[in-house]
Amino acid sequence: MDRVPILRIGDVLLVSIQVDLQDDIALALQDDLSQRIVDTGAKGVLIDISALEIVDSFVGRMISTTAAVSRVLDAETVVVGMQPAVAITLVELGLTLSGVRTALDVDRGLAILAGRESGVVAEADDDDQLDD
Amino acid sequence: MTSSTTEPTTYAVAADADVVRVRQAVRDLAVQAKFSLVDQTKLVTATSELARNTLVYGGGGEALVALLDKAGRPGIEIWFRDEGPGIPDLDLALTDGWTSGGGMGLGLSGAKRLVDEFEVDTAPDRGTRVRIVKWRR
């Protein structure tokens, strides 16, 4: 079975999903990320889904669970790069990814995670935009 | 009004990789039929939900994919068939948030919202057949 690679940049784990995600690979990624957070003490997880053509309820659940688990492990998850057609479909499907922070691209996602570290974003859960 | 159906192509749904294969086949057909990107995405997402149901709850089965034509308007019809235990309470299964397995309970109800036609034929011990159609706008 293929695995999605996890890159470490400083104390951020970066995942860029470049394959049509099948369920067992998505589950393996969820497990791998949790383990890597513990192993590395990472404070942030950035998941780039710009290459994903769909996000269905299974992948949506994987993303929500990953965000929840990383929060418990003292790391924040930001999902970046969702395509507009995917966002429209996701909402119509009934998924809102509540509790998951999102950003338009990797740069903004990294800025959110950097802001958390330096304490710029005081209430990360409510603010979607980073105040510079 | 003329209507026609191409001979459906049958895909086995017996493993996670098969779900991906059915998704890709439906995507290719939706591109060929010149669906908008949003409609392609909605149809492929519904396909993914239903193919997974066939695999996880139906114990595997098959998906039949056909191109329709209604007075020059293309549509895509997909049947999902399994010989599994069936859905005991269909109304309940179509309720948002209800799930019998570890899912989010959005598979059936969510898929229904994403397509134009949605029919389920199911009974305990008779398996489940789901038919969906999406027309090009």
CATH architecture of B3-135: 2-Layer Sandwich (3.30)
In the sheet that holds A76-80, the strands lie side by side as A6-9, A12-16, A44-48, A76-80, A101-103
Residue range B41-66: mean pLDDT, rounded: 96
At residue B104, the pLDDT reads 54
The 10 Å CB-count burial string (b at 16+, else e) for A34-46 is bebbeeeebbbbb
Residue range A96-101: mean pLDDT, rounded: 88
Contact A60/B107, CB-based, under 8 Å? no
From A23's Cα to the closest Cα of chain B, the distance in A is 6
From B113's Cα to the closest Cα of chain A, the distance in A is 7
Find the range with the poorest average confidence among A50-54, B41-45, B88-92. B88-92
Residue range B75-87: mean pLDDT, rounded: 94
The verdict on residue A123 lying in a domain is no
Structure tokens at A117: 């570290």
The verdict on residue A1 lying in a domain is no
Structure tokens at A60: 């949506």
Residue with more model confidence, A41 or A96: A41
Structural domain that includes position A34: 6-118
The helix/strand/coil state of B14 is coil
Q: B55: closest CA among B19, B26, B91?
A: B19
At residue A98, the pLDDT reads 82
Establish whether this prediction's ipTM goes over 0.95: no
Residue range A109-129: mean pLDDT, rounded: 61
At residue A116, the pLDDT reads 67
Q: Is B11 exposed, middle or buried (0-12, 13-18, 19+ CB in 10 A)?
A: buried
Residue range A51-80: mean pLDDT, rounded: 95
Give the CATH number, domain containing residue A104.
3.30.750.24
Number of structural domains chain A divides into: 1
Is residue A120 predicted with pLDDT exceeding 50? no
Under DSSP, the state recorded for B7 is: P
**For residues A65 and A97, what is the distance between their CA atoms, to the nearest angstrom?**
10
